[in-house]
């Protein structure tokens, strides 16, 4: 059965709103403050690697905005089980509007890394040490952003070799946490990926709304 996901909120709904790290105001997600997560996504993502973490983050009260190459574009998973829509386009957002980045796997990351705007957007989260949550083929986007050298992480088996060749410390386990970075290998790792991602998001300082 195909599952359609609809946008339930808007980004930056009021003028003068504090924005993430930029405010310098320390609050914590576990104290009831919503963490704003950018989910970068294109067609042919791995359905479960998008939907299950997406649902998990939202169930924790976090805000997940789907950022695509073009606002309004319909995005169907490669298994055909999940369909969603890009709530905003990459040309309409700035990294400072978000507190964390989520990169689902499948073929989506390979599409995204061909767009310099997506690469620049991704790199900005590493420049500011904001949480980055990447599963399966997600680290392909990190390779293109040139942010994996010296970092400890994991990925889909074929991507592990690519990561090693560019200087990453690759380990083959269900989830790896390295400072602001959480990575996992495949759909069977999703529960561990969600668990460790939520733990990291609980430590995120965010601005008051």
Active site residues: 136-137
Which of 29, 77, 65 has the alpha carbon at shortest distance from 207?
29
Q: What is the DSSP letter of 153?
A: E
Residue 148 Cα distances to 62, 97, 143, 172, angstroms? 26, 23, 6, 16
Quote the longest CA-to-CA distance of the chain: 46
Pseudo-torsion of CA 196, 198, 199, 202, nearest 10°?
Answer: 160
DSSP secondary structure letter of residue 9: S
Unique residue bearing structure tokens 């040490």: 129
Q: Are β-strands 100-103 and 132-135 bridged in parallel, bridged antiparallel, or unpaired?
A: parallel
Classify residue 16 by its DSSP letter.
T
Q: Is 137 exposed, middle or buried (0-12, 13-18, 19+ CB in 10 A)?
A: buried
Please say whether the dihedral angle defined by the alpha carbons of residues 166, 171, 176 and 177, taken in this order, is positive or negative.
Answer: negative
């Amino acid at each position: 059965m195909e599952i359609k996901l609809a946008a339930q909120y808007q980004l930056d709904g009021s003028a003068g709103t504090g924005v993430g790290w930029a405010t310098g105001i320390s609050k914590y997600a576990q104290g009831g403050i919503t963490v704003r997560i950018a989910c970068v996504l294109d067609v042919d993502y791995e359905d479960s690697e998008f939907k299950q973490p997406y649902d998990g983050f939202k169930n924790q009260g976090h805000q997940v905005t789907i950022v695509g190459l073009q606002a309004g574009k319909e995005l169907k998973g490669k298994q055909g089980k999940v369909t969603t829509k890009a709530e905003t386009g990459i040309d309409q957002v700035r990294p400072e509007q978000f507190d964390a980045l989520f990169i689902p796997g499948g073929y989506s990351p390979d599409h995204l890394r061909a767009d310099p705007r997506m690469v620049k957007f991704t790199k900005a989260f590493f420049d500011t040490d904001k949480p980055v949550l990447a599963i399966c083929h997600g680290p392909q986007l990190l390779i293109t952003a040139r942010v994996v050298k010296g970092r400890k992480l994991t990925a889909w088996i074929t991507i592990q070799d690519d990561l090693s060749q560019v200087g990453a410390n690759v380990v083959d386990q269900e989830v790896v946490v390295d400072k602001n970075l959480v990575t996992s290998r495949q759909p069977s790792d999703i529960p561990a990926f969600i668990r460790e991602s939520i733990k990291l998001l609980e430590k995120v300082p965010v601005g008051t709304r």
